[in-house]
Amino acid sequence: MDAGESGSAERTPALNWQDASTLRWVERPDDVHAAFDRGEPLVGVAVISLALNHDNPDAILPQVARAMEADDPEVRRQGVVALAHVARLHRSVDRRCVDLLRDFPRGNEADDDLWSFADHRLLPWWLWRYHAGQRLLWLVRDSWRS
């Protein structure tokens, strides 16, 4: 191996879009973008992998938003999971993903991870309202136990 090679190409298998197990290695936004264009059925798995493997949230979030807008409900759900990972790992979110998240049922993974890890100043009023209500309910229940 040359000094300039990292050796990761030997460990990373080729992406097989028919087998979700190889998609855990997705780390390039362009691969996910092309998979969306081809209509790959496992593109949601790739978006989650991208969120876990790529270090730049600005490159990940457009693909997350694309998943959240998908026609397939499973890909939309996987987009929400990917957004949760971005929030937890990068403490980041963008306006497009937040706007899309509003149409999902409250209490999902992204709601909770955004509230836990993102800067609250970046979060919309409806997420504040949801979490304030949850917190108030927890405090009331806790006071009844005492």
pLDDT at position 5 over 50: no
The four Cα atoms 28, 37, 15, 69 give a dihedral, to 10 degrees, of 70
pLDDT in tens, 69-101: 999 999 999 999 999 999 999 999 999 999 999
Reduced to 3 states, what is the DSSP secondary structure of residue 133?
helix
- What pLDDT is stored for residue 103 in this prediction? 95
Min mean pLDDT across 1-15, 28-42, 54-68 is at: 1-15
Angle subtended by helix axes 29-38 and 57-68, to nearest 10: 20
Q: Are 108 and 80 in contact (CB under 8 A)?
A: yes
Residue type (1 letter), 84: A
DSSP character at residue 27: -
> How far from each other are the two terminal CA atoms of the chain, in whole angstroms?
66
Residue type (1 letter), 105: P
pLDDT band at 3 (very low <50, low <70, confident <90, very high): very low
- CA nearest neighbour of 100 among 118, 82, 119, 121: 82
Report residue 92 as tokens. Answer: 């980041």
pLDDT in tens, 86-142: 999 999 999 999 999 999 999 899 999 998 898 888 888 888 888 776 666 666 666
Say whether pTM exceeds 0.85: no
